[in-house]
Chain A
């Protein structure tokens, strides 16, 4: 298991520095349906925010807002002090593991390379010097996640765990100021879950890169989480795990009896999954 060094001190120290992500008075509504309103969230360097909630509560929509792919109905969002634009180098994005077609024309290093400059126009660096610099950056990103051994392997032949390590490298190779993760541990075995979470954690500790981690299952990252943003059907709550993940708070959010139990080092939420949720959002 990973060692836990989560100090409340870190959060207060960081608050004095500038926030990397600011969400102010944010409202997101699709017609009548309000995903959230009056959402304020300041994310400081080194912070790990878990975004939890049932399907359709707007977790993915929030990521899309941070990525600049969707506009808020009201309020503002800033990443590094600027509104997030399309094609931003400032954000690293890790998606959930997906099944890949066998004839996908990518090797492991190509996936990481796309994370570095795949969004740019033109044919890329053509001179030998520039090509060497590019190659070195990609090699370094792969070494960081322990993927050097299969750098030239076809991506589709790799296991889900190996693919997700590469996803971390793909997100980190551009030196982003914030890391957005959309269920990156889903459908991975326990050992791979632990490895991928650890790789994200290492970057947070060494470079102070804050992490926004969307998940439906908090336990694999429980020791890492500084604050939880819990979204349920237009309601939300933000705070440290011990303040949000309680029987009282979740029962209030869900509007029904929900029990939160601590079993050894795990949190077990009973009752939340039976709540019939709303019509799905446009993206979930």
Chain B
């Protein structure tokens, strides 16, 4: 028991590792991801799009796998796969039940295709595994320009469209009556999710994208109903989980994703507790 704990939590060499450029680049990538994921998470929760995010991430995996086989930039493949998936999901509109089943269908197909593509790939096994569970090496191999471009597009779009997006996400009927293009915003938001998902896949892997795209928003919703405060809390939770998870994973040399998922879940439990105590 103690052995396992020692193996999971260890700071052997963490200090030295932190001085390495590839670790520092991974930390920068984690910080940028935490910002965009935290900004989007409350809207994802408000729109009830958890499953759509999961489906999108599985297609980022498919895109990444295809890129590996074709020998092009994996990050680019992930962006293409997830944005395409997000667009399909976004165009399905707002009818929840119908959307869920279509996402399930597309997700299963994409995942199967990805498995086949990975089997065709004869390169390093860590590249394959990295797509599913994430790793610090795959974060480093993400082109920093892809990262910067995606983050800029997401933040820039939010600066211009945040209020109509919030209106359409929380109160679609009145938003449409006030002239907010609710139907148009659905694919727009889906593209933002697609871009952010593609950023998240190298770090936390396709399987655990939900940990950074949903949990911070769900945690924030427990503590505050204010859109501004909720967004700040979600960003803080996402940053703590991603940066903390990256640092904790260094010593043991284990995947980032497990640590990120554990920290973010802990944050969620704490937020639930705070919410419970406050409600009296």
Known: A104-B170, A104-B225, A111-B171. A118 touches B45 (CB 8 A): no
Of B21-29, B132-140, B176-184, B202-210, the one contacting chain A is B176-184
Residues of A close to B224: CB separation below 8 A = 105
Beyond A85-B179, A105-B226, A105-B227, is A120–B174 a contact (Cβ under 8 Å)?
Answer: no
Cβ contact of A103, chosen from B45, B166, B167, cutoff 8 A: B45
A76 interfacial contact with B, CB 8 Å: no
User: Does A121 touch B at the CB level, under 8 Å?
Assistant: yes
A280 adjacent to chain B (CB < 8 Å): no
Which of B71-79, B100-108, B156-164 contacts the other chain? B156-164
Q: How far is the CB of A220 from chain B (nearest CB, A)?
A: 21
When chains A and B are docked, how far (Å) is the Cα of A68 from the Cα of B164?
18
- CB nearest neighbor in A for B173: A95
Asked whether B218 is an interface residue with its Cβ less than 8 Å from the other chain, the reply is yes
**Interface membership of A216, Cβ < 8 A:** no
Residues of A contacting B220 with CB < 8 Å? 105
A67 touches B177 (CB 8 A): yes
Q: Which residues of B contact A155 (CB under 8 A)?
A: 225
Max count, chain B CB within 10 A of own CB: residue among A107, A124, A167: A107
Q: How far is the CB of A108 from chain B (nearest CB, A)?
A: 9
| B-contact 0/1 string along A119-131, CB 8 Å cutoff | 1111110000000
A residues less than 8 Å from B230 (CB atoms) = 105
Q: Does B175 contact A (CB under 8 A)?
A: yes
Measured CB to CB, the closest approach of chain B to A196, in angstroms, equals: 15
B225 to chain A, nearest CB (A): 3
12 contacts between A and B (CB under 8 A): A95-B173, A101-B48, A103-B222, A104-B225, A105-B170, A105-B224, A105-B225, A105-B226, A107-B225, A118-B166, A118-B175, A167-B174
The list of the 9 closest CB pairs from A to B, nearest first, reads A87-B179, A154-B225, A86-B179, A118-B167, A103-B221, A93-B177, A119-B178, A105-B230, A107-B225
Extra contacts, 10 of them, besides A93-B178, A110-B226, A167-B174 (Cβ < 8 A), are A87-B180, A104-B221, A105-B220, A105-B225, A114-B171, A117-B163, A119-B180, A124-B163, A153-B225, A155-B225
Q: Which residues of B contact A (CB under 8 A)?
A: 42, 45-46, 48, 159-164, 166-167, 170-171, 173-181, 218, 220-222, 224-227, 230
